[in-house]
Structure 1
Amino acid sequence: MHKPELISEIADQTSMTKEQASQVLTTILDEILLALSREEDVVLIGFGSFSRKHRKARIGKNPQTGQPIDIPATNTVSFKAGKQLKETVNE
Protein backbone atom coordinates (compact mmCIF):
# COMPACT_ATOMS: atom_id res chain seq x y z
CA MET A 1 0.00 0.00 0.00
CA HIS A 2 1.29 3.44 -0.94
CA LYS A 3 0.57 6.78 0.71
CA PRO A 4 -2.29 7.77 -1.66
CA GLU A 5 -3.99 4.43 -1.04
CA LEU A 6 -3.62 4.88 2.72
CA ILE A 7 -5.11 8.37 2.46
CA SER A 8 -8.08 6.96 0.54
CA GLU A 9 -8.63 4.27 3.19
CA ILE A 10 -8.51 6.84 5.99
CA ALA A 11 -11.01 9.04 4.14
CA ASP A 12 -13.31 6.06 3.43
CA GLN A 13 -13.32 4.89 7.07
CA THR A 14 -13.88 8.34 8.56
CA SER A 15 -16.02 11.32 7.69
CA MET A 16 -12.99 13.14 6.30
CA THR A 17 -12.31 14.26 2.78
CA LYS A 18 -9.17 12.97 1.08
CA GLU A 19 -7.58 16.39 1.60
CA GLN A 20 -8.29 16.27 5.34
CA ALA A 21 -7.03 12.68 5.57
CA SER A 22 -3.87 13.72 3.72
CA GLN A 23 -3.30 16.57 6.19
CA VAL A 24 -3.76 14.23 9.16
CA LEU A 25 -1.38 11.61 7.77
CA THR A 26 1.21 14.25 6.85
CA THR A 27 0.99 15.76 10.33
CA ILE A 28 1.45 12.35 11.98
CA LEU A 29 4.48 11.55 9.84
CA ASP A 30 5.98 15.01 10.40
CA GLU A 31 5.58 14.65 14.18
CA ILE A 32 7.29 11.23 14.10
CA LEU A 33 10.18 12.77 12.15
CA LEU A 34 10.47 15.71 14.55
CA ALA A 35 10.42 13.45 17.61
CA LEU A 36 13.16 11.25 16.15
CA SER A 37 15.24 14.32 15.25
CA ARG A 38 14.98 15.35 18.93
CA GLU A 39 16.22 11.85 19.84
CA GLU A 40 12.84 10.91 21.34
CA ASP A 41 11.32 7.47 20.88
CA VAL A 42 7.88 7.22 19.28
CA VAL A 43 5.78 4.46 20.84
CA LEU A 44 2.47 3.44 19.28
CA ILE A 45 1.09 0.84 21.68
CA GLY A 46 0.15 -2.35 19.85
CA PHE A 47 1.74 -1.19 16.58
CA GLY A 48 5.38 -0.67 17.48
CA SER A 49 8.06 1.81 18.38
CA PHE A 50 10.50 3.92 16.40
CA SER A 51 13.81 4.92 17.89
CA ARG A 52 16.93 6.69 16.71
CA LYS A 53 20.13 4.66 16.82
CA HIS A 54 23.71 5.81 16.38
CA ARG A 55 26.12 3.74 14.30
CA LYS A 56 29.77 4.27 15.12
CA ALA A 57 32.37 4.96 12.45
CA ARG A 58 34.03 1.78 11.30
CA ILE A 59 36.36 0.28 8.74
CA GLY A 60 34.68 -1.62 5.91
CA LYS A 61 35.91 -3.40 2.84
CA ASN A 62 35.33 -2.45 -0.78
CA PRO A 63 33.72 -5.63 -2.19
CA GLN A 64 35.25 -5.12 -5.65
CA THR A 65 38.85 -4.42 -4.65
CA GLY A 66 39.06 -5.73 -1.10
CA GLN A 67 40.62 -2.43 -0.01
CA PRO A 68 39.65 -1.07 3.42
CA ILE A 69 37.41 1.99 3.43
CA ASP A 70 36.32 4.33 6.19
CA ILE A 71 32.58 4.25 6.89
CA PRO A 72 31.53 7.41 8.75
CA ALA A 73 29.31 7.46 11.84
CA THR A 74 25.61 7.85 11.05
CA ASN A 75 22.24 7.96 12.73
CA THR A 76 19.55 5.54 11.67
CA VAL A 77 16.03 4.61 12.69
CA SER A 78 15.01 1.27 14.13
CA PHE A 79 11.49 -0.09 14.37
CA LYS A 80 10.37 -2.73 16.81
CA ALA A 81 6.99 -4.28 16.07
CA GLY A 82 4.42 -4.32 18.86
CA LYS A 83 2.54 -7.37 20.10
CA GLN A 84 -0.67 -6.70 18.15
CA LEU A 85 1.25 -6.13 14.90
CA LYS A 86 3.20 -9.35 15.36
CA GLU A 87 0.04 -11.32 16.10
CA THR A 88 -1.80 -9.87 13.10
CA VAL A 89 1.06 -10.65 10.72
CA ASN A 90 1.37 -14.21 12.03
CA GLU A 91 -2.33 -15.10 11.73
Structure 2
Amino acid sequence: MNKAELIDAIAAESKLTKADSKRALDAFLNAASKTLKKGDKVIIIGFGTFSVAKRAARTGRNPQTGKTIQIKAKKVVKFKAGADLAKKVK
Protein backbone atom coordinates (compact mmCIF):
# COMPACT_ATOMS: atom_id res chain seq x y z
CA MET A 1 0.00 0.00 0.00
CA ASN A 2 1.39 3.38 -0.96
CA LYS A 3 0.49 6.79 0.48
CA ALA A 4 -2.31 7.47 -2.04
CA GLU A 5 -3.90 4.09 -1.32
CA LEU A 6 -3.64 4.76 2.42
CA ILE A 7 -5.34 8.13 1.99
CA ASP A 8 -8.14 6.43 0.04
CA ALA A 9 -8.54 3.80 2.78
CA ILE A 10 -8.62 6.43 5.53
CA ALA A 11 -11.23 8.43 3.60
CA ALA A 12 -13.42 5.36 3.08
CA GLU A 13 -13.15 4.16 6.68
CA SER A 14 -13.60 7.55 8.37
CA LYS A 15 -16.07 9.11 5.93
CA LEU A 16 -13.72 12.09 5.53
CA THR A 17 -12.90 13.64 2.20
CA LYS A 18 -9.67 12.60 0.54
CA ALA A 19 -8.30 16.10 1.09
CA ASP A 20 -9.07 15.94 4.82
CA SER A 21 -7.61 12.44 5.01
CA LYS A 22 -4.42 13.62 3.31
CA ARG A 23 -4.10 16.55 5.74
CA ALA A 24 -4.66 14.21 8.71
CA LEU A 25 -2.06 11.71 7.47
CA ASP A 26 0.46 14.48 6.71
CA ALA A 27 -0.09 15.95 10.19
CA PHE A 28 0.53 12.55 11.79
CA LEU A 29 3.67 11.96 9.73
CA ASN A 30 5.05 15.43 10.56
CA ALA A 31 4.32 15.05 14.28
CA ALA A 32 5.83 11.55 14.38
CA SER A 33 8.93 12.69 12.46
CA LYS A 34 9.51 15.61 14.82
CA THR A 35 9.09 13.38 17.86
CA LEU A 36 11.52 10.76 16.53
CA LYS A 37 14.04 13.44 15.56
CA LYS A 38 14.08 14.57 19.20
CA GLY A 39 14.85 10.97 20.19
CA ASP A 40 11.46 10.25 21.76
CA LYS A 41 9.16 7.30 21.03
CA VAL A 42 5.84 7.35 19.19
CA ILE A 43 3.53 4.86 20.91
CA ILE A 44 0.17 3.96 19.38
CA ILE A 45 -1.61 1.58 21.75
CA GLY A 46 -2.76 -1.54 19.91
CA PHE A 47 -0.70 -0.74 16.81
CA GLY A 48 2.93 -0.43 17.81
CA THR A 49 5.89 1.68 18.85
CA PHE A 50 8.27 3.66 16.67
CA SER A 51 11.66 4.43 18.26
CA VAL A 52 15.13 5.61 17.28
CA ALA A 53 18.17 3.38 17.78
CA LYS A 54 21.85 4.01 17.16
CA ARG A 55 23.60 1.70 14.73
CA ALA A 56 27.33 1.47 15.43
CA ALA A 57 29.99 1.96 12.77
CA ARG A 58 31.06 -1.32 11.23
CA THR A 59 33.15 -2.89 8.52
CA GLY A 60 31.28 -4.04 5.42
CA ARG A 61 32.17 -5.54 2.09
CA ASN A 62 31.50 -4.18 -1.39
CA PRO A 63 29.68 -7.07 -3.13
CA GLN A 64 31.03 -6.12 -6.57
CA THR A 65 34.70 -5.87 -5.72
CA GLY A 66 34.96 -7.77 -2.43
CA LYS A 67 36.87 -4.83 -0.95
CA THR A 68 36.21 -4.01 2.72
CA ILE A 69 34.65 -0.63 3.45
CA GLN A 70 33.82 1.34 6.57
CA ILE A 71 30.12 1.97 7.18
CA LYS A 72 29.47 5.05 9.32
CA ALA A 73 27.42 5.01 12.50
CA LYS A 74 23.88 6.32 12.12
CA LYS A 75 20.47 6.52 13.74
CA VAL A 76 17.71 4.27 12.42
CA VAL A 77 13.97 4.10 13.06
CA LYS A 78 12.69 0.85 14.53
CA PHE A 79 9.11 -0.41 14.78
CA LYS A 80 7.78 -2.95 17.23
CA ALA A 81 4.27 -4.20 16.53
CA GLY A 82 1.71 -4.03 19.33
CA ALA A 83 -0.18 -7.09 20.56
CA ASP A 84 -3.40 -6.26 18.69
CA LEU A 85 -1.60 -5.74 15.39
CA ALA A 86 0.40 -8.93 15.83
CA LYS A 87 -2.82 -10.93 16.46
CA LYS A 88 -4.51 -9.45 13.37
CA VAL A 89 -1.56 -10.31 11.12
CA LYS A 90 -1.35 -13.96 12.19
- Scaled by the length of structure 2, the TM-score of the pair is 0.90
What SS does structure 2 have at the residue aligned with 1:64? Answer: coil
3-12 vs 25-34, greater mean Cα deviation: 3-12
Aligned-residue offset at 1:10: 1.6
Q: Which moved more, 1:68-77 or 1:8-17?
A: 8-17
Give the length in aligned residue pairs: 90
User: How far off is 1:28 after superposition?
Assistant: 0.4
Cα distance, 1:70–1:18 mapped onto 2, change above 3 Å:
same
Matched, 1:88 2:88: yes
Question: More deviation in 53-62 or 17-26?
Answer: 53-62
Q: What secondary structure does 1:7 align onto?
A: helix
Structure 2 unaligned residues grouped into runs of 5+: none
Determine the C-alpha separation between the residues in 2 that align with 1:2 and 1:26.
Answer: 14
1:10 aligns with 2:5: no
Unpaired segments of 5 or more residues in structure 1?
none
Cα deviation code 1:4-51 (max 9, x no counterpart): 122122222224211111000110011111111000011111101010
Q: Name the amino acid aligned to 1:82.
A: G
Match of 2:51 in 1: 51
Deviation at 1:64, TM superposition (A): 3.1
Identity across the alignment (%): 42
Aligned ranges 1:33-52 → 2 under 5 Å: 33-52=33-52
